Structure 1
């Protein structure tokens, strides 16, 4: 079959953390004891199930996310990577990323993950300020964060790290100083997220009680613009709203998501998108770790949902994901997903208003959100998709 230039990814969800961060709404759990051999065997079973559904594909990326995958035994990581290579063809330049926290215990395992086949690590630094690390519920301190960045740089040719900004009380001057320090460690990629209050998190409760106040909209905009300017000057262009990279160093796995390519999701709560016989399937695995293990043992997978995505929903998903990217969406992609011309995919009056407002552009055969549009993308999508 002709290979999809958007790639084909495998996502592996490790659902365990040492502690639940108060801002996090991911499917993560704290357990005193983990039967890792059972988890290893279950991952391999679920991989085999999806490999049978997607024969002949070439894997361009593998991503170990969580949770905290660096709590995993590197032997489990290696077993999964080997199983992927047996089940599918693997690109010569396959990107294999593992998310890690910068505690000293996890940092000491980076060499083991590299030996297992991981060639890119993503560190959850989140802040370089001691007080804010505690506020964010992180298990590491500033010293460990900086040591982990040095270790990652010496262990992997490619690495990235995350920072959260627009934190309570954070001033532009303080963020400028912190970001400048972070950039001395950045190699070719960095992710920067504004702090948001997610439903169901500990922060949702404490924020509602008035325990802390986020910067107002004007302050957030000033911090965002400062971030864009500093990253641009450092040669790390914003290829996606929150992700910056030197040309050619973008996250290949995440680009598959944003370009609305296919990917398999393995592990508790993992989502997938697969195109089979012209249909786009949305898959979702059972969220609860113990129930997921039981289901995989009983039937070889723990797929809770495998639904055909209707045409209108495909258009919506393609739009929501693709407009996050600086490159935008090829107009031809709308026709490929919907089976009808671009002009018949989105409401022309809404498109015209957003073009006239300076939030969207159509250029070089692509629909693109302008800088102003990407800064207000939720509002733009609300107007565009109704």
Structure 2
């Protein structure tokens, strides 16, 4: 989990969609028509801008997100990939390029060498599982995409209609099969905790998906967002969310079904066949660097050269000396954390304040970048200043520690305490107490093995509360 200052992941954001899903609060926009080439030129111009400060970096992954980036013509996807590979050398780990798939039916006993060739990196494209996108799958592969990811969400047509999705169940299943015929690495998203959802509905979706031996599945609990159609419907009591017990039962069903089909849960919401974990997302969870390109894209990057800092700051709308995360750590998981009393949580705040004072004086070279969200505003900035920056902030050591712990504990393997101490040059014992560690061990919320700390199943469903208890 050790951070490598000389490697990064590249995220490309395409903000346009055919229509807005009822639950979506992402930076996505519906436009009647656009000049695609103008927007592609903007993305490439912004890539060149960040290359000036990161020319010595190696690129680990590329991820096209949105929006719906599969609306981009394959030739322009290829143009972006070629530009990225020209600007940055690829960083590959030969150990990750050799996969062995175990006793799963389709893959039983079959050894797969070099899922990616030695000079290749993981390049993911998000798409919709509709017949329109299906026609371009092979072209996207020829353009350089080697991993495809799409949101099925459910295989119940009534729920898909409720979510305002562009596909139905039959289209989704056909799309999955077409993807598996073309790509060696396919990922799908589904949701749980949905209005009108039943255990039978979820079981049917899981059964129909898992038997296809899809390489990777992300399973997310619905999170209501303000200013979405679905939230409006819930507030007006047109629809109703399932109770906490129902949501917990759905998550338990997901775990059992994935285990039965030999999927490994390697992160709170992520399941894969052996060797098909998302490299791009792992870099996020392991607090590695990433550069965000496009409207509303975010990034985290080390900048140590003072001249580079000055140059970037001249183009940013908002410049802050430092930023810190919201102290009210939350979690998508519905289970509470009542076993640790509020009095203990209050004590933890005092402990947090004492270590925070020690950390604050340490100088940070880690910066948060955030682009303008409105596509037209971003494009105007890029055309005038070669980047779409809205916010450029120094991330203080205090905040980095909080993010490292919160992200690291999302992963099933947890994080190395030795890596933590090497990165931040502080003892882990200075940011929490042995008494709190012992309480978490006593309640079977965490495990510590040879300097590695991770959450148990009971801890995973209390992720947010445990992070708050540990560090605040």
TM-score computed with the length of structure 2 as normaliser: 0.79
* Alignment check: 8 A CA contact 2:3 2:287 kept: no
* Alignment check: 8 A CA contact 1:130 1:141 kept: yes
Any runs of at least 4 consecutive aligned residues in structure 1 with deviations exceeding 4 A, and if so which? Answer: none
Which of 105, 116, 126 is matched with 2:153 structurally? 126
Aligned to 1:184: 211
* Alignment check: 8 A CA contact 1:160 1:186 kept: no
Residues 1:48 and 2:29 aligned together: no
Q: Secondary structure at the match of 1:93?
A: coil
Listed one character per residue, the Cα deviations across residues 44-102 of structure 1 (whole Å, up to 9, x for unaligned) are 11101111111222111000000111111112211110111111101323000000001
In structure 2, relative to structure 1, the CA distance for the partners of 1:241 and 1:177 (3 Å cut) is: same
Aligned to 1:82: 82
Q: Relative to structure 2, which stretch is displaced further, 91-100 or 274-283?
A: 274-283
Which of 119, 127, 139 is matched with 1:112 structurally? 139
Quote the Cα distance in structure 2 between the aligned partners of 1:313 and 1:262: 15
In structure 2, relative to structure 1, the CA distance for the partners of 1:5 and 1:330 (3 Å cut) is: farther
Aligned to 2:221: 194
Residues 1:311 and 2:397 aligned together: yes
Which of 267, 278, 290 is matched with 1:263 structurally? 290
* Alignment check: 8 A CA contact 1:16 1:31 kept: yes
Shift of 1:379: 2.2
Q: Secondary structure at the match of 2:30?
A: coil
Aligned to 2:467: 381
Listed one character per residue, the Cα deviations across residues 239-292 of structure 1 (whole Å, up to 9, x for unaligned) are 011110122110000000000001111001111011233611111111110000
Residues 1:295 and 2:381 aligned together: yes
* Alignment check: 8 A CA contact 1:7 1:262 kept: yes
Quote the Cα distance in structure 2 between the aligned partners of 1:43 and 1:171: 43
Shift of 1:6: 10
* Runs of 5+ unmatched residues, structure 1: none
When the two structures are aligned, how many residues end up with a matched partner? Answer: 385
Quote the Cα distance in structure 2 between the aligned partners of 1:342 and 1:78: 45
In structure 2, relative to structure 1, the CA distance for the partners of 1:346 and 1:34 (3 Å cut) is: farther
In structure 2, relative to structure 1, the CA distance for the partners of 1:261 and 1:299 (3 Å cut) is: same
Q: Secondary structure at the match of 2:247?
A: helix
Residues 1:204 and 2:204 aligned together: no
**CA RMSD, 1 decimal:** 1.8
Aligned to 2:33: 33
Aligned to 1:254: 281
Q: Secondary structure at the match of 2:120?
A: strand
Residues 1:68 and 2:68 aligned together: yes
Quote the Cα distance in structure 2 between the aligned partners of 1:340 and 1:122: 39
Listed one character per residue, the Cα deviations across residues 194-249 of structure 1 (whole Å, up to 9, x for unaligned) are 22212332222211111111111111111111111110121111101111012211
- Larger-gyration structure (1/2): 2
Listed one character per residue, the Cα deviations across residues 319-360 of structure 1 (whole Å, up to 9, x for unaligned) are 111111001011123223422111123354443432332222
* Runs of 5+ unmatched residues, structure 2: 92-118, 305-363
Quote the Cα distance in structure 1 between the aligned partners of 2:226 and 2:6: 32
Aligned to 1:275: 302
